[in-house]
A = this chain, B = another copy of it.
Amino acid sequence: MTRGTGRGAGSAAPRSVDVARLAGVSQKTVSRVFNDEPYVSADVRRRVLDAAEQLGYRLNNAARALASGRTRSIGVVTLGTALYGPASLLMGVERVVRDTGYALRVVNTMEGDPAGVAGAMDSLLDQGVDGIVISEPIDEQTDGGAPALRLDVPVLVIGAPPPVKAPTVLTAGHGADLMARTATEHLLDLGHMTVHHLAGPQRWYAARDRLEGWQAALTAQDREVPAVVSGDWSAASGYRAGRELAEDGGVTAVFAANDDMAIGLIRALTEAGRRVPEDVSVVGFDDIPVAAYVTPPLTTVRQPFDAVAQEGLKRLVHAIENPKAEPLTPSGPPVDLVVRASTAPPPPSRKTPARGRRTGSRAARASSPPLANGGLSTRH
């Protein structure tokens, strides 16, 4: 058998005994130093560190994991897309995970993936992780009601109700429903009779959340709830939906489930001769980087991805390291409505005097050139 963890061809990688020998201490002491355990004199610690440095020693994680039963790594299951939302979340997760001293293993699910989230988690479990993050899960095509996956590591689900059974199941995230509600109310406050919704694929919890928030806002003010148009998150699908919506003269306000679809929608509307925002107002969701620079600059709600990731992972790590303790309680992030130029009061012909007696959204109009930070923003 060749020595080393695949690190070297000729020269075997140094082990802790080698360091121990050179430092003139026992192997166990080396272990103590590298684990920051107490009861090592400053002098010994120095010697060990020097010897390690000199030899180019690095702890062998496989051996460590085998002996300790912990891999010090966290797995994350993401959708295999470069969509702004999921990608941002993943980056946020990585940042926090590294800060906590864990390693990150990533597995994707693709829509239509036969194994789905279950398969992805399984592969994570095979790899051996101490905890799992499921980011924006979607429904599996549970033919015949697949049983919830059972795990024995703590799980954090971002943006959705937990589809698993595990010793600890945490959820994080914002309630996209609250944000959706805020977006819808902004439109209502502007004087629109009702608001249409361009939804995401309903297999996504994220999409359903937004739909619910939209509905809640409407019913809370006794407004008519129009039929939902659905897309697949892409600008292309937003464009298709836009052609449909453009034919209905009654549409004066649309809340799109993400910015990409909103952009496609606006294009279709514009091509059909319906001006945005003069004839139709559009609100997006996510605040993607280009949102402030498209024509017209897009009013949208911003998701605090970093905050969500950070807050959730803090609790996950806590659960991993304190299996017996009570899970920490989540703290909700703020909702951030960014008002730009794609929303306005409805056209006079259809304008309703019913401004509602709502408070809240102090909606203001951004002046035409996009501001450095991309418009006015209101915290809720």
State the A residues within 8 Å of B (CB): 1-9, 58-71, 73, 80-82, 84, 87-88, 91, 94-95, 98, 103-108, 110, 123, 125-128, 130, 152-153, 167, 234-236, 238-239, 260, 263-264, 266-267, 270-271, 289-290, 292-295, 297, 320, 323, 368-370, 372, 374
Contact = CB atoms under 8 A, between A and B. Distances in A.
8 contacts: A5-B69, A6-B71, A6-B320, A7-B152, A61-B127, A236-B374, A238-B293, A260-B289
Given A70-B6, A167-B9, A293-B263, A80 B95 contact: yes
A66 B60 contact: yes
Most chain B Cβ neighbours within 10 Å, of A69, A123, A152, A372: A69
Contacts of A84: 82
Contacts of A271: 368-369
B293 A128 contact: no
A209 to B, nearest CB: 20
Contacts of A80: 91, 94-95
A87 B82 contact: yes
A98 B119 CA distance: 12
Nearest to A59: B126
B6 A69 contact: yes
B66 A63 contact: yes
Contacts of A238: 293
A123 B108 contact: no
A68 B297 CA distance: 57
A8 B294 CA distance: 52
Contacts of A236: 289, 292-293, 370, 372, 374
A344 to B, nearest CB: 18
Given A9-B323, A263-B293, A271-B369, 18 more contacts: A1-B67, A1-B68, A3-B69, A5-B128, A6-B71, A6-B153, A61-B126, A62-B64, A80-B91, A80-B94, A80-B95, A82-B88, A87-B87, A94-B106, A236-B289, A236-B372, A267-B293, A294-B294
Given A289-B234, A292-B236, A98 B94 contact: no
A86 B271 CA distance: 32
A297 B266 CA distance: 12
A62 B72 CA distance: 11
Contact of A103 (B60, B127, B297): B127
A290 B70 CA distance: 43
A81 B89 CA distance: 10
A107 B91 contact: no
